[in-house]
Structure 1
Amino acid sequence: MMTTLVPSLDHLKKAYAVTSTATQVTPLLESAALAMETGAARVFVKPESLQWAGSFKVRGAYWRLKQLSSD
């Protein structure tokens, strides 16, 4: 059986406060092509490739580094 862990709102707010200083705000873009392909009324994508590191992974990596102790 698989367990899904859901972060609390407080955890998300803390992560945002820490990572927002090191990341850029990326836009939500509507994709008509994906909407047609999936049959959805509207589909939005968030191009995290616009981050300075070229990936969304910078958020998680920065968060993890900030959690390390100074030892």
Structure 2
Amino acid sequence: MKLLYPTSLKLDVNSIDGFSVALQPYDVKVPIPEEHIDAEVLVTWTNTAENLKDAASRLKNLRWIQSP
């Protein structure tokens, strides 16, 4: 399972090391890169409305969206 988390969020990724999740950081100021559109989980934080709309239309495997 691929989880995208924004670089704008302070996250201790080492605390979830060992779980069956592939953690991928992304920049909220640009659209999510093509190589990450297969993500199943998207953590949002300080994303623009435009980037969220883009993510909703391109990330077809999303199963969970988390907004802290």
Q: Could you state the TM-score of these two structures normalised by the residue count of structure 1?
A: 0.21
Q: Could you state the TM-score of these two structures normalised by the residue count of structure 2?
A: 0.21
Q: Which is strand-richer, 1 or 2?
A: 2
